[in-house]
Amino acid sequence: MLPSMDTTTMLIITLGATLLIYIMKLVIERINYIRIIDRIPGPPAYPIVGDSLDVIKPSNKERFDFFSKRAMTYYPMFRTWRGPWAEVHLMRPEHVEIIASSVRHIDKSFGYKFLHPWLGTGLLTSTGNKWHERRKLLSPTFHFKILEDFVEVFCDKSKILVELLDKKADGNEFDIYPFLTLCALDVICETAMGTPVNAQMESDSQYIKAVYEISKLTIERGIRPWLHPNFIFQRTEFGKKYENCLSILHGFTKKVISERRLLKEQEGTKTPESEDFVAFGQKKRKAFLDLLLDVSSDGKVLSDDDIREEVDTFMFEGHDTTTAGMAWTLFLLGNETEIQEKVFQELDSIFGDSDRSPTMQDLGEMKYLERVIKESLRLYPSVPFIGRQLKEDVKIDKYLIPANTLVLLHIYHLHRCEDQFPNPEVFDPDNFLPERTAKRHPYAYLPFSAGPRNCIGQKFALLEEKTILSSILRKFRIEAVEKQKDIILLSELILRPFSGVRIRMYPRK
């Protein structure tokens, strides 16, 4: 039987009232959220777009300086609005520790989703159970014994680099950054995928061009809220360029994974380590991809897409960050001849007149070079900012930061806290003497992040940088063309110099 008109009307009124109450509840919650966030100092913002209109005004060349000046204006903590999303910026070690050390706040911030089309939800971008499982699964791939095997690759690629640089050691100015990039790409291709690409000898790498382009496009999209929806972004010029880069990057890794899987099938089942030898008694070195395939037979643990996520992640993080770290180290040493000479004296005490490649033991003895690298990463951290999304409310100083708020950890500015690093703009490797390190706040220096989401490949990176830098500095003396005050920093995924690292190079002997 049909309900009476009065019953129908009552139902409509009840549903309408319920919807209205729900909407009012959301509006009140939003107003309260805005009030709480806006108690934190920060630049003016507008409805819907936030402060995005101010952020897109500076050119790519000017943007890092814009962000840095803003950070210093509101130091040590401020808030911005990325469209309708609030973001709180932290620059003090005691503030950063609250977020970075927590097992609750491991979710990467909203902006990382723009990396998902490229890197999927691998170790860098995943969260929750997937992140915990991947971290546990991948940690053994960076075991000391495996890293020791990789030193041979570092040495082989360093030799090629030194031979190429020998042709440039004539006192004429050149940019060393592309040489380091190709060397790092050679290293990561062979260690991560077991596939030589001979990037240094065939330097017109479409892969590197695509990495640079997609990094730039990711930043450009992130600062423009109207490009956040996929439907809009994919129909813009930015989106079309992004898709072209994706096809290059994914095509490369998919091809290598397919070929590597086929090769393993042809070789038969996995042999025990004691039998893992090839001709002439040489031990067969396993690449990162091989180790992933070993635990993923028949797709039971990781599918091909899962493996591609991790390989793409390590390809990006494993060559771009180490390139930047090495380039900044050479730039700083090129400006400080006394420190460069101390590095050479240490290397001379280890190798003497020998031109042999470094061993794992030699790398362990490079204590001063290690301090130099760490100080370079303090001044110019490869990843200058880290984003997280809060899982629950957090109190920092007198301010409440509500759950779901984005938090940006300013690694670049954290490393310049004067009470932690006196004369913070001065290049001083003695900042990392054990007695100085012991006195500092444990979260004052985070070039590889910290806490549960610290960088799984930091030992790999340090060994690679020591190997390559020691090979260069044993053979050449370096002079930087620009001073620190002249350098323009690029605000991209990785901290890069706008004009590269321009140096003059001379033979040691």
- Is 273 among the domain residues? no
Tokens of 477: 């003396």
- Is 350 among the domain residues? yes
State residue 127 phi and psi, 5-degree precision: -150, 180
Q: What is the pLDDT of residues 209-245, one digit of tens each?
A: 888 788 888 888 887 888 888 899 999 999 999 999 9
Per-residue pLDDT, 281 = 37
- Is 406 among the domain residues? yes
Q: Within 10 A of 35 (CB to CB), how many other CB atoms are there?
A: 9
State residue 449 phi and psi, 5-degree precision: 60, -165
Per-residue pLDDT, 315 = 80
User: Based on the structure, what is the number of domains in the chain?
Assistant: 1
Which amino acid appears at position 289 of this protein?
L
Pure H helices in 380-449? 411-414, 434-439
Could you tell me how far CA 41 lies from the centroid of its own chain? 28
Contact 242, 215 (CB under 8 A): no
- Is 458 among the domain residues? yes
DSSP secondary structure code for residue 46 in this structure: B
Pick from 428, 415, 466: which is nearest to 339 by CA?
A: 428
Verify cis geometry, omega within 30 degrees of 0, for the bond prior to 76.
Answer: yes
Contact 256, 289 (CB under 8 A): yes
DSSP secondary structure code for residue 123 in this structure: T
Q: What is the pLDDT of residues 160-175, one digit of tens each?
A: 999 999 999 999 999 9
Cα separation, 409 vs 91, in Å, equals 6
Contact 174, 307 (CB under 8 A): no
Average pLDDT per consecutive 10 residues, the chain (509 residues; last block may be shorter):
66 86 89 94 88 85 92 95 91 96 83 84 79 79 78 95 96 95 90 82 78 84 86 91 92 84 69 40 66 70 82 82 95 97 97 93 97 98 93 94 94 97 96 96 94 87 96 97 93 86 93
Per-residue pLDDT, 277 = 35
Cα separation, 317 vs 444, in Å, equals 22
- Is 190 among the domain residues? yes
Q: Residues with Cβ < 8 Å from 506, sequence gap 6 or more?
A: 169, 171, 476, 477, 478, 479
Which amino acid appears at position 73 of this protein?
T
Q: Is the dihedral of CA 395, 401, 403, 406 positive or negative?
A: negative
- Count the helix, strand and coil residues of the chain and give each as a percent rounded to the nearest 5: 60, 10, 30
CA distances in angstroms from 394 to 47, 314, 398, listed in the order given:
25, 32, 11
CA distances in angstroms from 410 to 82, 121, 212, 222, 443, listed in the order given:
16, 23, 22, 17, 12
Q: Residues with Cβ < 8 Å from 94, sequence gap 6 or more?
A: 441, 443
Contact 253, 300 (CB under 8 A): no
Cα separation, 51 vs 86, in Å, equals 10
- Is 30 among the domain residues? no
The CATH number linked to 187 is: 1.10.630.10
Report whether 455 belongs to an annotated binding site.
yes
User: Taking the C-alpha atoms of 173, 178, 180 and 181 in order, what is their torsion angle to the nearest 10 degrees?
Assistant: 170
Name the packing angle between helices 367-379 and 337-351 (round to 10°): 150
Name the residue range of residue 225's domain: 40-265+284-507
Cα separation, 60 vs 54, in Å, equals 13
Q: Within 10 A of 158 (CB to CB), how many other CB atoms are there?
A: 24
Q: Residues with Cβ < 8 Å from 285, sequence gap 6 or more?
A: 149, 150, 152, 153, 194
Cα separation, 324 vs 216, in Å, equals 16
User: Taking the C-alpha atoms of 170, 173, 177 and 178 in order, what is their torsion angle to the nearest 10 degrees?
Assistant: -70
- Is 253 among the domain residues? yes
- Is 432 among the domain residues? yes
Cα separation, 451 vs 100, in Å, equals 6
Q: Residues with Cβ < 8 Å from 270, sequence gap 6 or more?
A: 264, 294
Per-residue pLDDT, 297 = 62
Cα separation, 217 vs 418, in Å, equals 34
